[in-house]
Amino acid sequence: MKLYELTIAKAHRGLKKKEFSCLELTKSFLDRISNLDKKIFSFLTITPDIALSQAKKIDDWILQKREIPLLAGIPLAIKDNILVEGVRCTAASKILENYIAPYDATVVKRLKKLGVVILGKTNLDEFAMGSSTENSAYKVTHNPHDLNYIPGGSSGGSAAALTSNFCIFSLGSDTGGSIRQPASFCGVVGLKPTYGAVSRYGLISMASSLDQIGLITKTVEDTKIVFGAIKGKDSLDSTSVESKIRNQPYGESRATAKFEIRNCKVGVPKEYFIEGMDPAVEKIIKNSIKKFEDLGIKIKEISLPHTKYALAAYYIIMPSEVSANLARYDGIKYGFSKKKAQSLLNVYLESRGEGFGEEVRRRIMLGTYALSAGYYEAYYLRAQKVRTLIQEDFKKAFQKIDLILTPVSPTPAFKIGEKITDPLKMYLSDVFTIAVNLAGLPALSLPVGKVSNLPVGLQIIARPFEEDKIFEIGQMFEQI
């Protein structure tokens, strides 16, 4: 196995046994990025100096015979809306083209303490608004399985970088499916944790009641390791909570946990197999569910009746929060400014008009309209009531079952340019992931097959703070 093909667990073992140095491991990724990313376009900023200096530090630890943490020396890529001190952070927008992060996001701080190696910042849809990574102000990322196809979005750069073996794991953010959908399209594992399980401090805000930092890995075991490192309460994020999640140490026998999970009941919502879904995707998902049944897991059809309203509610709540969060980019405080404008009002208007891309402007306008006098009750308030109904659907379902299985997307990845001119078609690619964000639940995308060389993902949803159940059932499936 080549160095860049290693998982976290295998790389850790290799470093401990001195089969290779951390510098060798890091250079293998930097060389690969340098040679191959000109076809994929997954990175916006590469940080070789930071990476090599962090790698040297880990080699020194090993020479000193220090016990190294599981993530020490593990190279990762970070979505370019998560701050890394001293590194450019653009959110793939022209308005933040020259913005240098003044501090580390909490997740970055936690990972740095464990000795990770940061290779660079990955491409995304501008301000994480999109489902294809075509909305970036800088470049379009390609799907490593077929360069004519999109990698998904908005964390498309993070998913494509991992799939291309440019890193061992990557960080992303998920507001309506932005980790799970690209993970599904690229054939890797993507986790959107429970809302509040991971601190959002240092994540450039899009929609604060929906955003969640998560991760993309090669295996469920790797997901479990990274999640264990970044979860937990943070005094700098009032929405974060102390983890109630039991986490087995790496290497511990899972026989007991396997026995428990075999007795669990799994629900399959009938509303997630809709007209217009790709028949080949539906067949793969149903075959995967059958495999769980063959393992002795009880499968039960359930109903989540308000699912059909999730997309509509999301596209009122999310733009409303976007319009408030993006008001800070006014051409005065920081970021791009149209200094030659004729008046102060024109500084605001021209800076925002030129600095923001088309999709960002569209969502700001939708949100401002939904929150405006006379429309607030008709749109925003009603959408929040629908959100409550969606949360109640999940609560009722989880009284009878332990986990829910659904498709991640109704189709595999689509061609670059296919949906970019039709926002409604693009929005529909998140139809199966959005309800999870509205309800604040944890969900994981697990690769389960391919349609014409394009991967398909299965979504595993759990109760709040029950990520451990997702990991158990996911690892069981990987071992089939």
Residues annotated catalytic, as ranges: 79, 154, 178
CA distance 341 to 324: 24
The distance from CA 469 to its chain's CA centroid, rounded to whole angstroms, is 19
CA distance 372 to 299: 46
Angle between helices 220-230 and 106-113 in degrees, nearest 10: 100
User: Residue 74's closest CA among 152, 13, 19, 12?
Assistant: 12
What does the angle CA 125 – CA 206 – CA 171 come to, to the nearest 5 degrees? Answer: 60
Q: Note the maximum CA span of the chain.
A: 71
As a 3-state breakdown, the chain gives helix, strand, coil percent values, each rounded to 5, of 45, 15, 40
CA distance 357 to 362: 9
CA distance 247 to 223: 12
Q: Which helix (H) or strand (E) holds 459?
A: strand 454-462
User: Residue 322's closest CA among 266, 265, 361, 287?
Assistant: 361
Residue 77 per-residue DSSP state: E
Read off the amino acid at residue 389. Answer: L
| Cα pseudo-dihedral 422, 426, 431, 437, rounded to 10 | -120
Q: Enumerate the β-bridge partners of residue 301.
A: 268
Residues 132, 122: contact at Cβ < 8 Å? no
The distance from CA 211 to its chain's CA centroid, rounded to whole angstroms, is 10
Helices (H) and strands (E) in the chain, counts: 16, 11
Burial of 299 (0-12, 13-18, 19+ CB in 10 A): middle
Read off the amino acid at residue 202. Answer: G
Give the list of residues 6+ apart from residue 375 with CB closer than 8 angstroms, or none.
369
Q: Residues for the chain: how many in total?
A: 480
CA distance 438 to 311: 10
How do 213-217 and 189-192 pair as beta strands? antiparallel
